[in-house]
Structure formats: structure tokens, C-alpha cells
Structure 1
Amino acid sequence: MPAGRWSAVRRAWRARRRRFLLVALSIFLLPYLLIFLYLLDFIHPVSTLMLRDLALLRGYERQWVEFEDIAPVLVQSVMMSEDGQFCVHGGVDWGQMRGVVEDALEGEQTRGASTIPMQTVKNLFLWNGRSFVRKALELPLAIVADSVWSKRRMMELYLNVAEWGDGIYGVETAARHHFGVSAAKLSRRQAALLAVSLPNPIDRNAGKPGRGLRRLASVIERRASRSGGYITCLYD
């Protein structure tokens, strides 16, 4: 190949590589920009699962509800079930995370250590499934989101994008679908059932709970009733 032609090919390759790197960097930075955008109360973001349902032409149900219109018993139950240290950590519970890493290094079965901020950014920006790549992206996003959003805004976002069944997103839609009431009218028992269904909302039906789910709900119901000291960041 003539030297001039080879030089042109190399320049074209470098240009394509720069464009690829710019696109990759833009995709990587976009969630961080959206974190600041989602500070605005009138912004009601959708999750990546909602976008998937739209792309597959399945559609979804979600009715946004403000934090003040969610029954406190639901907030208490979700905290006690998903992230009891929500008010005190900075997005990541490093003590829990260290335990998971130690278990993994010892070849033991790992337990969950995802905080509500981690689950929120995963729902908004990432994908389901367990992988080190996703976790590596999730951790810094959770830390930034926790430093930018108030705890109330974080909880509002989480409860409005969480999945509670096939095509069922957000606590308002979940409350109406499973119990025929609004999120503001949930009883303590209903709130506990919704909370314990969150880890696997497709198989765990809050409206038709099996014996195991009812037993878990009873545990969370008791914890929620004694959660006053844990929720001070959300209620004055």
C-alpha cells in the first residue's frame, strides 16, 4: 500500500476511535448529568425496565405519587426490609459490602448488600442481573446520587420506579393493583407485604402471598412498628 494511502487509513482509524471514545464517555457521564436533572421535583423519571417494556411494545402501568402522599407505614416497611441504615450511610453500606466481599473470597454464598440508593440508580440507569461490571458502575452512582438528592427525594424516586409485578411500577400503582387502595391508605400489613415482595416482585405476589411471604411480612411488620429511630431523615 502506498505511504500516502496508508497514512490516510491511519488517520481515518484514529478519527473513528476518537468518535467511539467520545460516544462511550458521553454514555458513561449521562447518568451523572441526569442525577442533577432529577433534583427537580416536577421531573418524574422512568426506569430502564420501563423503557425495555416500551421497546418490546408491552407497555407498563405507573402513576407517580409525591412522597407526602405515601403512607409512612410503607416507607418504614421498605426501609426495614431493604436498607435499615438508609438514614446514616452515604449511599453505600460499607460494612455490609465488606462482609459480601469476604464471603465471596471465602467461596461462601453471598448475601445482598444493595442499599436503597444503589437500587435506585440501578433501576434508573443500569440493568438487572448480578455482575461485577454493573456493581462497579452502581457504587459511584449511588454515592453521587446520595450526596445530591435529599433522602426524601431518594425515597420518592425509589418508590416510584420500583417494580411490583409484571408491568407494575411505583407504589401507587402497586397499592391499587394488589389491594385496591391508594398508597396513602395502605395498612401496616399491606405495606409489609409490598416491602417483602420487592426483591422478587414477579414471583412474590403481595396481593396473593404464600405462607413464606406472609411469615416474612410479619417480621417486617414488627420491625416497622419499632422503626422510629431509623427514619428521622424522612420525617421531622
Structure 2
Amino acid sequence: MLRSLRWLAAAVLWSFVVCVLWVLVLRVIPPPVTWVMVDQSNEQGTLQRDWCALDEMSHSMPLAVIASEDQRFLHHHGFSWTAIKKAMEYNARKKGKKVKGASTISQQTAKNVFCWPGRSFLRKGVEAGFTVLIEALWSKERIIEVYLNVAETGKGRFGVQATALTCFKHDASRLSTAECALIAAVLPLPRKFNACAPSGYMRKRQGDIQRQMRLLGDVFDPAVMERTRERIRKEEEQERKGK
């Protein structure tokens, strides 16, 4: 029994070491492939992907995704407990209807890079573990850079560069604010929405995202970050008082 426990402890330790090394390697090199890419290559036959460094993208691209997906991205440590609470309350009210998620950009990056497709408690546990690791070992800039390169942005397309070249016929560095907002609008349902032929709903989402972008401003600017941090603190205080 004792020997079995030692083997189990050793296996857990080595698994943790391998995961840490994996995350450290991907801190400096682009992820070569993801499970979702493999899955889509089997369905679509071909994939469009082209790595683009964060400093070679339009500055509006990370802002559009933060405005659309996770406005507290720069101010949490991987998990937005406020968003989780709101999602749980919403899902409790809407039993039997579409479930609302609360994944942060960090969680989505961990899921896209390190996890297999599907839904299970095991996969969510692996996702949570890798979320903690990338938050500890990567910068926020690296997290969003990887996300913007591995996220599915259309059928068989991964990363903003692929959609920029396919839909807008130019490099990601030349994306306009409106184009960045349109790509961000695709992300929740990339196999349904198409930035090359946006629907009326997508145009509405595009406008909403652009308005949020203007409100947020330059999210990486220290002064803006401090104002956002103060706003979040006040919102959390109001939420606690409202309990």
C-alpha cells in the first residue's frame, strides 16, 4: 500500500513538472498545434493559420477582445469570481435554457492550447490547472498574444492574421478598429459567424464592441489601468453592499 502511494505521489509530481516545463516552453515559442486545430483539420481538410506577434498586430485587436470577452482581464489572476457568480445566478434563473459561461481570456487560452475538445469535469479541472500556471509563468501580454493566434476565428481559420488576410485582404497590422471589433464579434461562435459576410446581428455586436472599446481606452496604459482598478474596486464594494 505504502509503495503504491509513493508511486502515485511520484507520478503526480512528474506530471506537474512536465506541465510546468510545457508552459515554460510555450512562453517563448508559438504553440505548434492545438487539439481544436486537429479536430477542425479532420472536418475541414485544410486549416488557415499564420502566427502574428502582438506588437505586429493593430493595437485595436487586443482591446477589441478585452472589450468583448473579458474587461477585467488585466486585473484578475485567471478567474473572474464576479463573472462566475453572475453566470451561476443567471443559469439558476434560466433552468433548461442556454447556459451562460464565465470563462476569462486566460481560461480560454488554457483550454485552447492545453485541453482536448469536449465537456467534462476532468477537462475543466485540467483547464483550471493550466490557467493558474499560465497566469503565474506568462505575462498578460503573452496570454493575449497566444489567445489571438490560437482562437478559432472562422471555419478552418485560427488566429486574427488568418481572418485579416482572408476577409479583409490585408495584414493584421493594418486592421481598422471596426475590423478588429468584427473579429471579436466572431469569437463566441466562430463556426456560425463569418467576418467575411457579417450578419445584421454581427454588425450590432460590432457596434457594441466599438462603444466598449472607446469607454475602456488604452487598457495597457498605467493611468488607464489604475482608473479601471479603482472602478472595479467600487463595483465590488457595491456588489457586497447589495447582498
In which range does the TM-score fall when normalised by the shorter chain? 0.7 to 0.9
> Does the Cα contact within 8 Å between 2:44 and 2:156 map onto a contact in 1?
no
Q: Give 1:167 deviation, angstroms.
A: 1.5
Report the Cα distance in structure 2 between the residues aligned to 1:230 and 1:74, rounded to whole angstroms: 12
In the alignment, what sits opposite 2:27?
39
Q: Give 1:156 deviation, angstroms.
A: 0.8
Report the Cα distance in structure 2 between the residues aligned to 1:207 and 1:56, rounded to whole angstroms: 20
Normalising by structure 1, what TM-score?
0.80
The aligned runs of 1:69-88 (5 Å cut-off) are: 69-88=56-75
Task: Name the CA shift for 1:220/1:106 in 2 (closer, same or farther; >3 Å).
Answer: closer
- Which amino acid letter does the alignment assign opposite residue 124 of structure 2? K
Q: Give 1:50 deviation, angstroms.
A: 1.8
In the alignment, what sits opposite 1:114?
103
Q: Give 1:44 deviation, angstroms.
A: 4.1
Task: Name the CA shift for 1:80/1:26 in 2 (closer, same or farther; >3 Å).
Answer: same
Q: Give 1:225 deviation, angstroms.
A: 2.0
In the alignment, what sits opposite 2:234?
none
The match for 2:151 among 158, 162, 181 is: 162
- Which amino acid letter does the alignment assign opposite residue 21 of structure 2? L
In the alignment, what sits opposite 1:191?
180
Q: Give 1:130 deviation, angstroms.
A: 3.8
In the alignment, what sits opposite 1:68?
55
In the alignment, what sits opposite 2:135?
146
Q: Give 1:187 deviation, angstroms.
A: 0.9
The aligned runs of 1:213-232 (5 Å cut-off) are: 213-228=202-217, 230-232=219-221
**1:91 lines up with 2:78 in the alignment:** yes
SS state at 2:74 partner: coil
**RMSD (CA atoms):** 3.1
Report the Cα distance in structure 1 between the residues aligned to 2:167 and 2:216, rounded to whole angstroms: 25
The aligned runs of 1:196-215 (5 Å cut-off) are: 196-215=185-204
SS state at 2:73 partner: coil
> Does the Cα contact within 8 Å between 1:45 and 1:124 map onto a contact in 2?
no
In the alignment, what sits opposite 2:124?
135
> Does the Cα contact within 8 Å between 2:30 and 2:146 map onto a contact in 1?
no
Task: Name the CA shift for 1:129/1:46 in 2 (closer, same or farther; >3 Å).
Answer: same
Where structure 2 has 5 or more consecutive residues not aligned to the other structure, the ranges are: 1-5, 226-243
Structure number with larger C-alpha Rg: 1
Report the Cα distance in structure 2 between the residues aligned to 1:204 and 1:74, rounded to whole angstroms: 18
Report the Cα distance in structure 1 between the residues aligned to 2:188 and 2:17, rounded to whole angstroms: 28
C-alpha deviations, 1:76-100, integer Å up to 9, x for none?
A: 1111001110100001111111233
C-alpha deviations, 1:124-144, integer Å up to 9, x for none?
A: 111334433322221221122
C-alpha deviations, 1:26-80, integer Å up to 9, x for none?
A: 677644431111122x444322112334567923121111110110111111110
C-alpha deviations, 1:125-174, integer Å up to 9, x for none?
A: 11334433322221221122111100111111111111111221111111
> Does the Cα contact within 8 Å between 1:44 and 1:64 map onto a contact in 2?
no
SS state at 1:164 partner: strand
- Which amino acid letter does the alignment assign opposite residue 80 of structure 1? A
Give the fraction of aligned pairs with identical amino acids, expressed as a percent. 32
Normalising by structure 2, what TM-score?
0.78
SS state at 1:77 partner: helix
Q: Aligned residue pairs: how many? A: 220
C-alpha deviations, 1:108-138, integer Å up to 9, x for none?
A: 4542211111000110111334433322221
SS state at 1:226 partner: helix
Task: Name the CA shift for 1:110/1:218 in 2 (closer, same or farther; >3 Å).
Answer: same
